[in-house]
Amino acid sequence: MEKSQETTINRVFRDRVKRYGDRICLEKRMPQGWEAATWNEYYDRARAAGLGFYELGVRKGDFIAIMSENRLEWVYADMGGLGAGACVFGIYTMVKEDEVNQIIENSGTKVIVVENSGQLEKAKFAMKNNPGLKTIVIIDDKDKRANGKEIITFAALQELGRKQHGKDPALFEKLADAVGPDDLALLQYTSGTTGVPKGAMITHGVLMANIHALDAVEPKYGYDTDNVVGFLPLSHIFERVPVHLYVMYRGITKSMAGSIETVVEDIQTKKPTIMFAVPRVLEKIYQKMQLAVSQKPPVVQKLFRWAQTVGNEVSICKEERRPIPFGLQVKHKLAYALIFKKLQLALGGRIRWMCAAGAPIAREIVTFFNGAGIFVLEGWGMSETTGGGTLSNLNDFSPGSVGRPLPGLDIKIAKDGEILVKGPGLFKGYWKMEAATKEAFTSDGYFMTGDIGRFDERGLMYITDRKKDIIITAGGKNTAPQKIETLFKEDPLFTQFVVFGDRKKYLVALVNLEPDIAARLAGKNGIKFDKPRDLLDNAAFLKIVDGIVAEKNSRLAQYETIKYYRILKDDFSKDAGELTLTLKLKRKVVAEKYMDLIESMYKEN
């Protein structure tokens, strides 16, 4: 079947299995080592899970939830459930039981797949409150609470499916073929302004429109000879669609990292050719390189700065689509051999491009990677755009821009700067929330994203802020905090720099520092300390930080400058609820948590 005729992800799955058969499709790092599945094994295990769901009473249009960290069983349940005609969606494992209960109640979920006993307790709470939840499937078969009735193991689910397949070998394909482009494929739950989760409805047609749009961009983002390492949760729209389903569509081999802590080691082991990352990952790599260089002899530091300058010049030539002069080509080959090759090897040695989507990233960092031969694709999207939206590509980019709209997506900028979107890859509204759906669209059918942006003369889009994050000072100045924060984070000393000042006379900030960079700065300036943390109370060190802040302020308009700031001794984290799973800051959470500290900075004047 031609790709253009593939109107559901079920058809894509079956077509790719026929094409690639016994080739490795998926791998996952587990405590005991890497587990792998060929395309045929993937299909066999997904079919077993799908027919198992059918035996449990799941029918076309029913809902299946998955609450687990990434593992092979996650994708078996996913593709099996979709093949059985269900709508399959993920729930983040960190979600509390009350919110799990809200999601199960809103969706009307019939079966939930959980990873372990911790997730089982949340599912049992939801089952007690929602009689429509009939079965809990637990992946960890060591848990003794699987009673074969309300709670069964994933192995038992697959055994049910295999028995059903023996009785009716054509059933799974019949069920999968009965699914059409207008049927729901997934719900992507997002946090509502009232705190009630909203399920963005994504049909098979919407899913395929997004995948086909990604595939229409030239040069192609990926080929079936590529390998990708994924590490974001499959419950996240970015991992589920671009990093998993689009990768499957292209026939790319996917290796799932053990965890965020093992991802660098896993990259070095699996040697991916493409990498879907988030800006914070690239920022960390850049900061570590800057720190390592600062500890080298002066001659090495000088060589690194020369190589970085050469790389920047090459990157600018590519950005402006100008030929790279022969002399610069020679210099770049030398810079690569002496400096940049080490970065490439640290990332497995084969990386062709890395993605940095979902949050702002400093132009300096993007240009550095581009100049080093590791191209950075910047992009923008959200749950309601099925993870896609805009994306730069190898032949059409400008650091700081999130690229052009994907083919078929109509994007325009409202008078107040808000990005408005319409197109076949857009969600169909929020499940069982008609009022919220109506409020999300303009009268002429554009989705109001809440992001502020602009297009340049080339048609490349730039995200300047979130609409609700715009700061209006007491003097009436509209200020975009992301612009200021990105400027400060160009300095590797700052891991986070969060600006506040709405309705206030001036701007203030809360700051996280990189301990190793702080220690290096202190040592270079002869400041004695026992632990890097001690420096946060050291007047001499704080004077150095004041100087860096002053230098950054000099590059801003007067109303954008930071008058006061406070360094926090504990970093913002996912566990504390201050960062999202993609390491984006939750500004509202931080503002509420540190309200007294923020207000104290307005009592100093």
Q: What is the DSSP string of 402-460?
A: -BEEPTT-EEEE-TTSEEEEESTTS---BTT-HHHHHHTB-TTS-EEEEEEEEE-TTS-
Residue 395: predicted pLDDT: 87
Give the pair of three-digit tokens for residue 78.
């996913």
What is the mean predicted confidence (pLDDT) over 352-368? 85
Q: How confident is the model at residue 573 (pLDDT cuts 50, 70, 90)?
A: confident
Q: How confident is the model at residue 4 (pLDDT cuts 50, 70, 90)?
A: low
Give the tens place of pLDDT for each residue, 390-441. 999 888 899 989 999 999 999 999 999 999 999 999 999 999 999 999 999 9
Give the tens place of pLDDT for each residue, 259-290. 878 888 999 999 999 998 878 788 888 888 88
Give the tens place of pLDDT for each residue, 230-263. 988 999 999 999 999 999 999 999 999 998 788 8
Residue 394: predicted pLDDT: 84
Q: What is the DSSP string of 152-213?
A: EEHHHHHHHHHHHHHH-TTHHHHHHHT--TTSEEEEEEE--TTS--EEEEEEHHHHHHHHHH
Q: Work out the mean pLDDT of the chain and round it to a whole number.
A: 92
Residue 338: predicted pLDDT: 94
The CA distance from 189 to 90, in Å, is 8
The CA distance from 583 to 382, in Å, is 15
Residue 467: predicted pLDDT: 82
Residue 191: predicted pLDDT: 63
The CA distance from 150 to 44, in Å, is 25
Residue 367: predicted pLDDT: 93
Answer whether residue 484 shows pLDDT above 90. Answer: yes
Q: How confident is the model at residue 587 (pLDDT cuts 50, 70, 90)?
A: confident
Answer whether residue 524 shows pLDDT above 50. Answer: yes
Q: How confident is the model at residue 193 (pLDDT cuts 50, 70, 90)?
A: very low
Residue 356: predicted pLDDT: 84
Q: How confident is the model at residue 557 (pLDDT cuts 50, 70, 90)?
A: confident
Residue 2: predicted pLDDT: 52
Q: How confident is the model at residue 143 (pLDDT cuts 50, 70, 90)?
A: low
Answer whether residue 194 shows pLDDT above 50. Answer: no
Residue 391: predicted pLDDT: 93
What is the mean predicted confidence (pLDDT) over 303-319? 94
Residue 147: predicted pLDDT: 79
pTM for the whole thing?
0.85
Residue 103: predicted pLDDT: 96
Q: Was domain 470-600 assigned CATH 3.40.30.10?
A: no
> Which range, of 117-126, 128-137, 296-305, 471-480, averages the lowest pLDDT?
471-480
Yes or no: say if 440 and 456 are a contact pair by the CB < 8 Å rule: no
Helix, strand and coil in the chain, % to nearest 5: 45, 20, 35
Residue 359: predicted pLDDT: 73
Answer whether residue 154 shows pLDDT above 80. Answer: yes
What is the mean predicted confidence (pLDDT) over 500-521? 92
The values of phi and psi at residue 236, to 5°, are -90, 135
| Architecture of the domain delimited by 1-180 | 3-Layer(aba) Sandwich (3.40)
Q: How confident is the model at residue 136 (pLDDT cuts 50, 70, 90)?
A: very high
What is the mean predicted confidence (pLDDT) over 440-445? 96
Yes or no: say if 577 and 589 are a contact pair by the CB < 8 Å rule: yes
What is the mean predicted confidence (pLDDT) over 47-72? 98
Q: How confident is the model at residue 197 (pLDDT cuts 50, 70, 90)?
A: confident
Answer whether residue 599 shows pLDDT above 70. Answer: yes
Closest CA to 443 of 469, 414, 464, 465: 414
Q: What is the DSSP string of 65-98?
A: EEES-S-HHHHHHHHHHHHTT-EEEE--TT--HH
The full set of domain ranges for the chain reads 1-180, 470-600
Residue 3: predicted pLDDT: 52
What is the mean predicted confidence (pLDDT) over 498-523? 92
Question: Beta partners for 412?
Answer: 420
Q: Which residue matches tokens 């082991």? A: 269
Q: How far apart are the first and last CA of the chain?
A: 71
Cα–Cα distances in Å, from 265 out to 225, 260, 284, 342, 426? Answer: 22, 10, 15, 15, 36
* Neighbour order of strands in the sheet with 507-513: 494-500, 507-513, 562-567
Q: How confident is the model at residue 169 (pLDDT cuts 50, 70, 90)?
A: very high
Residue 605: predicted pLDDT: 58
Give the tens place of pLDDT for each residue, 375-388. 999 999 999 999 88
Cα dihedral across residues 442, 580, 462, 352: positive or negative? negative
